[in-house]
Amino acid sequence: MPAIVIVGAQWGDEGKGKATDALGARVDYVVKFNGGNNAGHTVVVGGEKYALHLLPSGILTPGCTPVIGNGVVIDLSVLFSEIDDLAARGVDCSRLRVSANAHLITPYNRTVDKVTERFLGKRRIGTTGRGIGPTYADKMNRIGIRVQDLFDESILRQKVEGALEQKNQLLVKVYNRRAIGVDEVVDELLSYADRVRPMVCDSGRLLTDALSRGETVLFEAGQATMLDVDHGTYPFVTSSNATAAGACTGSGVPPRAIDRVIAVVKAYTTRVGEGPFPTELHDEQGDWLRERGGEFGVTTGRPRRCGWYDVPIARFAARVNGVTDFVLTKLDVLTGLERIPVCVAYEVDGVRCEDMPMTQTEFHHAKPVFEYFDGWSEDISGARSVEDLPKAARQYVTALEEMSGSRISAVGVGPDREATVLRHDLLDG
């Protein structure tokens, strides 16, 4: 079963890091293919907690090779501080490979991210402020800086000069900020060149060669389906393709190589930043979910907005990604509720709608139609097989499975790597 993609089904923070890490021992490569250090994945191994941003979650598995694909945007200072922090805790990062074609987040991209958000005011996206959007914009505008540019100083300088000619006009004349000097940017970037050089690879070649040898490659998405720049709740999205197809463009493997697509979906829903969210709770039930689920951002510390499970979103994720298996996470967080609301459809301007509406306006108007399921009060965090779950919890999982468009193969009952109930083998069937 050589190539598997893991994506988020909702608005991020579903527990992709834990799912990737849990499969780590069965795969040879773990590849990050989109996004950058806007991602935050918490992985708990034997009680030890790791917060990963730029590094693929496979980094924690000895013997597995982590790869940063061409579709990722890299802040080199973050990359090396993450590597140093992990090395100080005894994690070996020496196998890490980085695509020569990946784009670099420069100091001016970070500045532009922050000032545009401030300038947008009420219309802001609520970005993570890490320079993600402006770096992808430069890539599409063909004025981006890539990893390989670090090894040709004169090209690097020309490219930075070209980009800053535009950016400084914007920063000084529109945003009233100081101009950024070419030398400071070039010097900062070059200071990482020697350290990154031994890691650099052609990710497409590396991974297609591995696949043709029968090795197993796991592609780990950052962000999620509803944050995908094409398929998500645009403009309240990130700037990359976080859906399964992004694994191909973001790494250089062909679409026919992909065998399985696993979507990670929370037993309820959360969102960070601005944008529509039909099942959002604005009352004490939302606060209860946030506290119980520890729903505070790994990257920015922001409280996450919380709401109930949304079936139209799960079905949409199943369709867009071609999901073969769902991993349902954080079921334990719902313990103690008498009844659990699930959004089974929307009402849009008085009309019942089973699926994601076509337009942004309709989605903004979507009101959830709820069905209610029995809750349970037993502690389920020690459950390791379906039989260990109380009947009502089993029924909740089965009901979600019937409505969401693909089988639920694993259920998370706690943050630790081991805290999972397996229903089907994720890499088979």
Interface residues toward ligand IMO, by CB under 6 A:
8, 11-13, 38-41, 125-128, 130, 132-133, 222-224, 227, 238-239, 272-273
Give bridge partners of residue 339 from the DSSP assignment. Answer: 374
> Does residue 113 touch Mg ion according to CB under 5 A?
no
Q: Which stretch binds Mg ion (CB under 5 A): 13-21, 145-153, 368-376, 406-414?
A: 13-21
Instruction: Tell the smallest beta-carbon distance from residue 129 to ligand IMO (Å).
Output: 7
Among residues 16, 103, 159, 271, which is the contact residue for ligand GDP, using CB under 6 A?
16
How far CA 273 is from CA of 121, 233, 388, in Å, comes to: 13, 12, 37
Q: Which stretch binds ligand GDP (CB under 6 A): 9-17, 143-151, 161-169, 282-290?
A: 9-17
223: partner contacted, choices Mg ion, ligand GDP, ligand IMO, none (Cβ within 5-8 A by kind): ligand IMO
Instruction: Tell the smallest beta-carbon distance from residue 113 to ligand IMO (Å).
Output: 7
Residues binding ligand GDP: number (CB under 6 A): 23
Residue 98 or 227: the one with the smaller Cβ distance to ligand GDP is: 227
CA-wise closest residue to 240 among 120, 355, 70, 99: 70
CA-wise closest residue to 95 among 75, 55, 57, 67: 67
**Residues labelled catalytic:** 13, 41
> Does residue 66 touch ligand GDP according to CB under 6 A?
no
Phi, psi of 415 (to 5 degrees): -70, -25
When CB distances to Mg ion are compared, the closest residue is: 13
> Does residue 17 touch ligand GDP according to CB under 6 A?
yes
Q: Which stretch binds ligand GDP (CB under 6 A): 14-22, 65-73, 170-178, 251-259?
A: 14-22
Neighbours of 142 (CB within 10 A): 7
Cis omega (within 30 of 0) on the bond before 303? no
Q: Are 229 and 13 contacting, i.e. CB atoms less than 8 angstroms apart?
A: no
Q: Which of residues 22-61 bind Mg ion (CB under 5 A)?
A: 40
Distance of CA 354 to the CA centre of its chain: 26
CA-wise closest residue to 120 among 235, 221, 200: 235
The DSSP-derived string for 265-292 is EESSEEE-SSS--TTB--SHHHHHHHHH
239: partner contacted, choices ligand GDP, ligand IMO, Mg ion, none (Cβ within 5-8 A by kind): ligand IMO
> Does residue 13 touch Mg ion according to CB under 5 A?
yes
